[in-house]
Amino acid sequence: MIKNMGLLDRLLRIAFAIMVAAMYLTGQISGKAAIVLGLIALIMVITSLAGTCLLYIPFKLDSHNKKA
């Protein structure tokens, strides 16, 4: 697959996943909220490791090759 996620995008997704894990481990979220946020965090980690977000493709978004 074509990589369409830049470094900042990937780091922000990992940071979100860590935040969700910390909230779960400290008991701030539980039940259905924990399941939903956990699944979203898992998807974000997977897309970060792959470097490709499938939702970016139909909208032709690409943060991988952006120059600041």
Distances (CA, A) of 41 to 7, 19, 26: 17, 9, 16
Q: Where would I find the H helices in the chain? A: 7-25, 31-50
pLDDT at residue number 10: 95
Band of pLDDT at residue 1, cut at 50, 70 and 90: confident
Q: Are 9 and 67 in contact (CB under 8 A)?
A: no
pLDDT, tens only, 12-67: 999 999 999 999 999 999 999 999 999 999 999 999 999 999 999 899 888 887 55
